[in-house]
Structure 1
Amino acid sequence: MNNNKFEKSLDNTTFLRVRKWYLLALLAIAFSIVFSQILIQVHLNSQLNDSRVINVAGRQRAYSQKLVKDILLLNRISSKEDKEQILLHTKKTLDVWSLSHKALQFGNDSMGIPKEDNKDILTLLKKITPHHTAMVNAANNTIQLKSEDTANQEENIDVLLKNEPIFLNMMDTIVNKYDSISKTQLQKLKQKEYLLVAFSLLILLLEILFIFRPLSIQIRNTIAKLLKSKIESEENISKIEQLYQEKEHSLQELQELNFVIDNAALFASIKNNESVVFISKKFQDLLGCSTQDLSKPLSEILTINDGQQQYLKEVLRNSRKNIRTEEIKIRTKKGQDIWLDMSIIPLHQSSTKQSILILCSDITERIENQQKLEQLTKQNFEDKILQRKLQASQIVEGQEEERKRIAKDIHDGIGQMLTALKFNIESINLDNKDKTEEKIAYLKTLCSDLIKGVRTATFNLTPPELKDHGLFSALQKMTVELSKLTGKNILFENKIDKNIRFNSLAETNIYRVAQEAINNAIKYANSNYILLSINYNQGILSVLIDDDGKGFDDTILHKTPKNNSEGGMGLFYMKERINYINGRLFINSTKDKGTRVTINYKPENTAK
């Protein structure tokens, strides 16, 4: 094969010829595309101007008719205010009409109208100008004349009516002329576009015939030659591979072994005096040591800490007879503290140069994780102890507050009524029968109030229905009793078909939270309507307490009060009770729109 001839025919002659004609063809296509786009843009700009001119010309007809209409209407209206309004509109119409007429002739940048250069249009505009001027003068005279001068007004109206038909006809001619010119330009543009498209297609056809076809033939021949050369090369390569196969296999095994030792293992071998015979590249990178540092003893290479160096020397000295494993903390030359799991293996029979083999593993991450785990475990234990102490203090505080509330209810309610009962009984005088009858009637009322107060106190302490019949009956009984005692509209809605019993701890806490929510609605929300509804769906018990009270600020729900004086302790105890039984409590309140308390509880086992 003549390589010089092949390279000359392929690289020089063919490539240069193809490149020259291909660039010329691309330039011709690019020129045709750019030229066509310039023509289109120029025509579009011209069309925009023509559209604006045609629009203004057509509007002139409307303004002339409106001007005549306003002048005629001005002479027929007797109201002064209406005349002034029509005069104002007529002046505006006249100004725009006059300005537009001048713009059609001489152009106007503010209106977007270029100066007219078509001789036919300019001739038509010159012919129509006297009629336009006559109508403008007549309109101005009519506007300036007084209403008593009827003779001159009639004369001006005659001028307007006489010139208006002529003006309208000539404006139609001008608009039609504009349209005819625009259509002619569009036809010319279409012809140019067709020529450019034909020119581009011709260039593409010539490229196919004289560039791409010869090039494809040349490439096909070249590929055939390359395939022939490839077959010959493969035969030569096969022979070479057979000669060097065993050598490459051995070399590959050696490279793999060196790579594992040098890059994948923390490996070192030393003499009895701690001088380094070999140390892997990965070990050097971990320790941050250079080639000059390898002349030092191994203990000085491993760490820069004096105490650690002395310990390593002692470990190496005592490991010359038996295999030893140590977890050692070292400080590298980079200043990093790392942990190594070091295995020290004495080699007495392998070589006089290698006395001790050292294999290491970097266990820094494991040690750090163990330390972090210990810290987290300790912190978690301390947090749990602190939380239990806090919960215990809160429970004690809650119990104390409950005792104070019971004592306050008994002292302020039952105690005062008993004192009043005692004083009234002692003040009875049997000799005065009228006063005695009144006091006995008052004592009956007082006794009824006393009985009601005792029932309320005992009901708030421990309802018997909760233990005997379950949560649903206890909640229904509570709403009925509280409705009687307070006079509020407290309703109960049970959406569950059958009675379901839960464990006593869950029933007690849910009952107390619902009781606290209703008491809050009665005492603090000033509500007139309270609805307690229960539902059990998909294994979840839902208890909802809705009221129409004044609501409260939701921000107190996101912070824990430190003592009872800060307020919000009732809400805090409600949350604690529900969290204690692994339930969820949601409180949504809006100012002046009421409050909704939702209790969700998913029991593990239920008793039906």
Structure 2
Amino acid sequence: MQDLKQQQALDTATFLRVRKWYLLAFATIALTIIVAQILIQQHLNSQLNDSRVINVAGRQRAFSQKLVKEVLMLRSGQSDGPSSPQLLEDLRHTLYVWRTSHNGLQQGNDSIGLPKEENVVILELFADLNPHHEAMVDAAESILRGTEGEQDLPESYNEDLQTLLENEAIFLTKMDAIVNEYDALSKEKLQELKLKEYLLLGISLAILFLEVMFIFRPLSIQIRETISKLIRSQKESDATANEIQRLFLEKEKSLQQLQELNFVIDNAALFASTRRDGTVVFISKKFLALLERPESNMNVPLSEILTADQGQQQYLREVLTSKRKNIRSEEIEISTQTGKHLWLDMSIIPMHQSGLEQSVLILCSDITERKKNQLKVEELTKQNYEENMRQKQLQASKIVEGQEEERKRIAKDIHDGIGQMLTALKFNIESINTDQKEKTKEKVAYLKELTTDLIKGVRTATFNLTPPELEDHGIFPALQKMTVELSKLTGRNILFENKAKRSIRFHSLAETNIYRVTQEAVNNAIKYAEANYILVTINYHDGLLSVVIDDDGKGFDTSILKKGAKHESEGGMGVVFMKERMSYINGRLFINSIPGEGTRVTINYNVKETVLDGTE
């Protein structure tokens, strides 16, 4: 009954809502149509007045010509006799209509349906035309006054006729301008009417669109939702009836399911139940089989069934008999009667009966295999740690060895290069004999060359050490300085290209190792690849620093690197130590070379940069 009332209330509310919005929509459309008709009728009335004005204005031209024509006819009629009274009457009528229409166009005249002119432009045109019109009117009236009661034309006829003829052409021209202005105003009003009609059409379409979007569409959605609710209510009623039927059928099967559940607990789960004092109420067959205990004599403490170890029994007795409200879970190692050691993941769940006596449920899982595997994992982890430490020690020893090799190389360069040049310098200075001027000049020139070579050797040896630019300004300026100095010292074409968009600093250890690896790659290209062109390119994008060294040297077979061999360099750090340096900072080194075509060495380093912007 309540659903029926709710459905009727919903139907009534929906109907009232639909009726209200439909009435509002139709009222809006009707109002738009009425406003449009009022505007159109007002404009049509205005157009009728404009048509009348244009007609009268155009007729003024004809009346001016008729006036002149009738005046001319008076003169032509004198040869035949007196003036015709009919011709004079026509002239008076023409003058009257012409003058009345002219004044009506400006001031308005209800008898001929002319409104008062309000347009400033047209009034200015009439003001310019009025002197000519008045001159023509005065001339015509003068002629009419001269012919009253006389048979002959007045003496001023010719003069008045001349006035009419002189002003007629000007009148016609200026009247044409007024007619054209009337026509332009009429067209302008017509355009305004079109714009109004377009505007009203747009408003009508907008109203229809808004009604569709905010009235008809929401109403259709609401109606659809209402129908959907009714359908869902019917489906829910059917589902409720089906659920009641299903519960009735399940109730009949509940006893059988409980029996099956007891069987599952007894044979498939590690489950036990104890009293408050810790004695066993129930224990599953699977639990007994795991503990290797018979089913008889179960009225004993559970701690004695679980383990044969006295210490473990005491601990379990305290855990099982202590009062608690929360579930307790822990991993316990037990010893069975046969001496087997087991690990159990035990959950102790306190239960309260209706008699306020507490009992305990114990759910267990056999985790013996997991514990064994965990011990194996820990042992393997320890072995891996020890292996990693050995690798680190080996890596450190290789780095020390590389440093020693670097020192030996520097000492060898100083001994073989600078030392020999100093010895030669000493011997040449000692052999100078001032008495032999020609030989002395030759020796002095030789000493100058030797001194220049000595300076280059010293600069080369000192430059191979850590440059101050690396510590002060970072890897970018240091590599640029290195390429410039080596190009000067060796005479090779060594270039540097920086594609990074901003100044970036990295960890000092990373900058040092990247600099050394780049320096070794350039030295190898100079000494062993015999390259004439070397390009060092550095780039940084999305956290990746990349340094590429390209040369046009003789190259080598990279397959020897896969066998663990060193680079062709024996005096330098070699490829092995280059890779060790990059591995030490978690970087990567790639070497690509083709015999006879050159070598490319690529250094990649992933790191979060620090931008040099004056702040930390």
With structure 2 as the length reference, what TM-score do the two structures score? 0.48
Structure of greater Rg: 2
Give the TM-score of the pair, scaled to structure 1: 0.48
